[in-house]
């Protein structure tokens, strides 16, 4: 059988805490990111792609301007296999292994590739947490509930990022998506079906980190059901600062506001953002591939819309 990927390029950050892999087979490109905390035996995290490019068009994301196609099940699994091989140890030796479908693409727009991949990865790595991060497209969520009941290691996170539908519309221009109340309802149903807590992910920036924002989130997402991830905004353009003290401070301060509202909160500030585009949404090397393959990379709904950058006015 032909390998899923013909080429795999590795890019390491200076501290050797994170590595990025760019996969290419002539018809598609994908990225995966491999983290160790502080070593692979203690905790290994893999962020892998489910699509080549993305049709959703999020304005902070480096893959938001073009879409090639959904990845096959084998192309998804091969990213994980290759990443684990690069650690030099067996997955069974890892105390914590997290496989996250959040590098590139909207997982729930590729259920044909994703669902079989989840079953196979659970068979291959039964100790791994399989974490789906979705922007909430308007699809049938019953297959996700069913497979989450079948596989106890699956987790679900919704990329909310804003506390109002109006603000979220500017950030995520994809038309066929759930509104915030619909996302909350789907997450509540998933929690009832699985007995596990869903997460919402929130990118804190200068315009959405007030007490009013925290209050609106509380009215939507019950802290007794939902957990929160507050993410430091990643910079989509190579050569610009991915983060700064001001941005990290916003995420930290807003996380405290959510804690006061009763949430269990984690702050996501991935290593390698400044050096190799290690954070979710940057995808510097994919952008170059898209430019070099205009015959394959079709414009997404986000093409031509204003880009959202991380603020650079550090205080």
Give the pLDDT mean for 158-165.
94
Give residue limits of the domains in the chain: 7-299
Give the pLDDT mean for 170-183.
94
**Interior angle at CA 220, CA 216 and CA 224, nearest 5:** 115
pLDDT tens profile 40-56: 999 999 999 999 999 99
pLDDT at 275: 53
Position 179 pLDDT exceeds 90: yes
Give the pLDDT mean for 272-288.
62
Query: What are the strands, taking DSSP E only, across the chain?
Result: 7-12, 18-24, 29-36, 44-48, 51-53, 66-70, 97-101, 128-134, 154-159, 199-203, 227-231, 265-268, 298-299
Least confident of 21-30, 152-161, 196-205, 306-315: 306-315
Other C-beta atoms within 10 Å of 239: how many?
A: 6
Cβ–Cβ < 8 Å for 271, 18 = yes
Give the pLDDT mean for 63-86.
94
More confident residue, 206 or 283: 206
User: What pTM does this model have?
Assistant: 0.89
The architecture that CATH gives domain 7-299 is Alpha-Beta Barrel (3.20)
């Amino acid at each position: 059988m032909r390998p899923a990927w013909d080429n795999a390029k590795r890019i390491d950050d200076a501290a050797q805490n994170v590595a990025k892999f760019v996969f290419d087979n002539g018809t598609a490109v994908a990225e995966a990111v491999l983290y160790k905390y502080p070593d692979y035996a203690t905790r290994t995290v893999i962020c892998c792609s489910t699509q080549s490019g993305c049709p959703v068009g999020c304005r902070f994301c480096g893959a938001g301007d073009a879409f090639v196609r959904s990845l096959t099940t084998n192309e998804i699994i091969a990213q994980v296999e290759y990443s684990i091989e690069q650690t030099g140890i067996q997955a069974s030796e890892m105390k914590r292994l997290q496989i996250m479908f959040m590098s590139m693409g909207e997982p729930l727009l590729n259920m044909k590739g994703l669902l079989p991949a989840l079953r196979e990865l659970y068979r291959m790595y039964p100790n791994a947490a399989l974490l789906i991060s979705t922007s909430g497209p308007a699809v049938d969520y019953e297959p996700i509930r069913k497979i989450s009941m079948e596989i106890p290691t699956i987790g679900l996170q919704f990329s909310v990022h804003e506390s109002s539908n109006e603000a979220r519309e500017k950030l995520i221009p994809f038309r066929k998506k759930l509104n915030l109340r619909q996302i909350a309802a789907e997450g509540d149903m998933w929690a009832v079906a699985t007995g596990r807590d869903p997460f919402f992910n929130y990118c804190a920036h200068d315009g959405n980190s007030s007490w009013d924002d925290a209050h609106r989130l509380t009215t939507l997402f019950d802290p007794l059901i939902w957990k929160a991830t507050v993410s430091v905004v990643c910079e989509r353009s190579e050569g610009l600062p991915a983060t700064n003290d001001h941005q990290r401070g916003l995420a930290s301060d807003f996380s405290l506001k959510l804690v006061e509202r009763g949430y269990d909160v984690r702050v996501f500030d991935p290593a390698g953002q400044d050096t190799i585009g290690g954070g979710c949404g940057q995808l510097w090397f994919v952008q170059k591939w898209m430019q070099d393959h205009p015959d394959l990379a079709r414009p997404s709904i986000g093409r031509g819309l204003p880009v959202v950058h991380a603020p650079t006015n550090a205080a």
